[in-house]
Amino acid sequence: MTPADTLRFATRAATGYPLRTALMVLAMSIGVAAVVVLTALGDGARRYVIDEFSALGSNLVIVLPGRSETGGVNLNSLVTTTPRDLTVSDAEALRRAPHVLRVAPLSVGNSEIAFGGRLRNVLVLGTNADFLELRRYRIGQGRFLPAEDNTRASAVVVLGATIRDELFGNAPAVGRMVRIGDRRLRVIGVMAPSGKGLGMNTDELVITPVATAQAMFDTNTLFRILIEARGREAIAPVQQQIEALLRARRGGELDVTLITQDAVLGTFDRILTTLTLGVAGIAAISLAVAGVLVMNVMLVAVTQRTPEIGLLKALGATGRNIRLAFLAEAAVLSLAGAFAGLALGHAGAWALRLAYPVLPAWPPDWAVLAAIGTALATGILFGVIPARRAARLDPIQALAKR
Amino acid sequence: MAQIELTGIERCFQLGDSQVHALRNVTLTIAAGEYVAVMGPSGSGKSTLLNLLGLLDRPNAGSYLLEGRDVTTLDADEQAEVRRNRIGFIFQSFHLVARLTAAENIALPMMLAGLPAAERRARVRRALDDFGLASRAEHRPDQLSGGQRQRVAIARATILRPAVLLADEPTGNLDRSTGQDVTALMEELNASGMTLVVVTHDPVMGGRARRQILMEDGAIVSNAPGALAPPP
Ligand SMILES: Nc1ncnc2c1ncn2[C@@H]1O[C@H](COP(=O)(O)OP(=O)(O)O)[C@@H](O)[C@H]1O
Ligand SMILES: [Mg+2]
């Protein structure tokens, strides 16, 4: 019997009993669909978090004043008191280090913004031209801060999208003068609306040159310094350079904290990958259950078709012919179930994406392959016992069964 | 050399505590091309004998030479090969595969033998023509009459041109005239050289054979040409 004939014979046998076949395909497909949907959910959540963090800007090292004990990310490192200030000249020094692509000093404070009789509270962010690229923000109208010395207090401002809307309505904003605190600044640009996101939102901010903000708030300290390394591999050397530089600039004591995005991302990545694997494992159990079902249905099929097996033997079928035919039938049923499940699972993932557009709920390739592989393996594995039982049947007794 | 040589064949079945002696010391030779009827009361061992001849069963003792070769010592796969190539089997209840068409049923032995599809199609077509089933090729067994079903079964049993055709009460489920058609068909095959061994209850059909074997209680009691022949 050629392999093609075995397969065709098995397929005919499978389609010859539509109800039984439909039930088995359904059981198998539910298992596969469960794996596909649940891993799509898990991996979607993982990708969502990673994307959100990546949106903060890549290859980022953040310098905060004050030493955190653990060196990792904790509440303390975000709200430390300042033993020694971070200054614009620190930022300048860091800019000259090799492997450093961009440095944006950050100074923040609260003030009031006024235009045409309208007044509102606003968070003022002092920084430089590098900030836009470093954080992957986009400008909506006009242009961002000019590339100039960090110590120049130009009287210009870039508005957040919401601020612009509230102050100007439909009127053009670029080129107009606004008052912030007791200073008059020219609007040179408007940020594009930020939309959704975990990261800092620019919609309710106004952005000025760092020196302008520091003068406004009468301070020369920085809130933090953002540094972008030249690449992923450069993050570790940059971190060391920063530490060495800052240590040297403050008499051998390192009273700053460095946060790399990699550390945060890596942690989330690990947690969510583990979660996805766990979920896939649970779903795989339903595949094993489907496998047991395949075995039982195939055992029933062997009993049902005992006369046929006897006949095939009388016609000269070897034990091997019979075994292969029943194994092929189990494989065909499992494969049909796997593909039906794949379709079902992809439909489920699609529905998820439709219901939660922010969630990139695509099943990962490894999960799809593993689901199909497991379905086939369980189907064939659990098909072995029925197939062997069929092959061992005594021809006359098999024939005598009606 | 006879085509079939049985010597001292014994076959016992264990039924719980009791033993059923289905064949006792059966010795029999059949030459190539012979036409033999096996007759006798129900339970006398006719089917058991035919199953043994067809290598569907093994004797407890005795030897069976088929075309000079001791086939009782062959392993299961070798026996399957002999069944496939040398023996055709016809059953009282036809034993067609219900989900396959007439043409597919006829092609089964060729499929098991691994013949190429084109040759299979050609041979099935010829067999359908020869057996008057040309218009029934795509019908499934439940769409065929009893006589048509048995003709499909005969076509299937003989599609690989076996040397021996074994039929266990082939007309038992058919009415008289259909039975006669089927008998005529088998006799034609016999005339073309195939050895034919028929188990039958019907004395008319038995009488048409050139030799009658009468069995009783597992033993051959008479084995002679025309022994039971009723007047035609
Ligand atoms: N598989 C079996 N198990 C037990 N007894 C059997 C079996 N096959 C046949 N027999 C017994 O052997 C005897 C002969 O049976 P069989 O050859 O079928 O007779 P016949 O075909 O002449 O009616 C009967 O008594 C029957 O009950
Ligand atoms: Mg019988």
β-bridge partners, B9:
B26
Report CA(B201)–ligand 2 centroid distance (Å): 10
Q: Quick check: CB of B20 below 6 Å from ligand 1?
A: yes
Helices (H), chain B: 46-53, 76-86, 102-113, 117-130, 146-158, 176-191, 203-208
Contact partners, residue A286, CB within 8 Å, separation at least 6: A30, A31, A34
Cα–Cα distances (Å) from A368 to A32, A100, A288, B46, B77, in that order, read 8, 41, 16, 59, 41
Contact partners, residue B110, CB within 8 Å, separation at least 6: B119, B120, B123, B124, B159, B160
In angstroms, what separates the C-alpha of B170 from chain A's closest C-alpha?
Answer: 15
Ranges of each domain in chain A: 3-52+266-400, 84-254
Q: Quick check: CB of B200 below 6 Å from ligand 1?
A: no
> Which phi and psi (to 5°) does residue B60 adopt?
-80, -30
Q: State the burial class of residue B17 (Cβ atoms within 10 Å of its Cβ: 0-12, 13-18, 19+).
A: exposed
Here the ipTM equals 0.91
β-bridge partners, A104:
A226
How many angstroms separate the CA atoms of A200 and A76, rounded?
19
CATH 1.10.645.10 correct for B2-224: no
**Coil, helix or strand at residue A255:** coil
Q: Which residues of B touch A1 (CB under 8 A)?
A: 111-112, 114
Ranges of each domain in chain B: 2-224
What are the pLDDT tens digits along chain B (232 aa)?
Answer: 789 999 999 999 988 889 999 999 999 999 999 999 999 999 999 999 999 999 999 999 999 999 999 999 999 899 999 999 999 999 999 999 999 999 999 999 999 999 999 999 999 999 999 999 999 999 999 999 999 999 999 999 999 999 999 999 999 999 999 999 999 999 999 999 999 999 998 888 899 999 999 999 999 998 877 655 444 4
Q: Which residue has the tokens 């599809």?
A: B117
Report CA(B46)–ligand 1 centroid distance (Å): 8
Mean pLDDT of chain B: 92
Helix (H) / strand (E) containing A280: helix A261-304
**CB contact at 8 A, B83 and A314:** yes
Helix (H) / strand (E) containing A163: helix A161-168
Q: Quick check: CB of B43 below 6 Å from ligand 1?
A: yes
Report CA(B169)–ligand 1 centroid distance (Å): 15
List, as ranges, residues with CB under 5 A of the ion ligand 2: B 47
Half-sphere exposure of A29 (CA within 13 A, CB side): 20
Q: What is the pLDDT of residues A342-378, one digit of tens each?
A: 999 999 999 999 998 888 888 888 888 888 888 888 8
Q: Which residues of A touch B109 (CB under 8 A)?
A: 315-316
Instruction: Show the beta-strand stretches assigned E in A66-204.
Output: 100-115, 118-127, 139-142, 156-159, 177-180, 183-191
- Cβ-defined contact of A2 to B114 (cutoff 8 Å): yes
| Atom from ligand 1 closest to the CA of residue B44 | 22
- pLDDT given at position A80: 46
Q: Which amino acid is at A125?
A: L
Cα A366 → chain centroid: 15
Nearest protein CA to atom 24 of ligand 1, as residue: B43
Q: Which residues does A contribute to its contact with B (CB < 8 Å)?
A: 1-2, 5, 9, 12-13, 16, 307-308, 310-321, 395-396, 399, 402
Q: Which residues of A touch B57 (CB under 8 A)?
A: 395-396
- Locate A186 and state its tokens: 């020219």
Count how many residues are written for chain A. Answer: 402
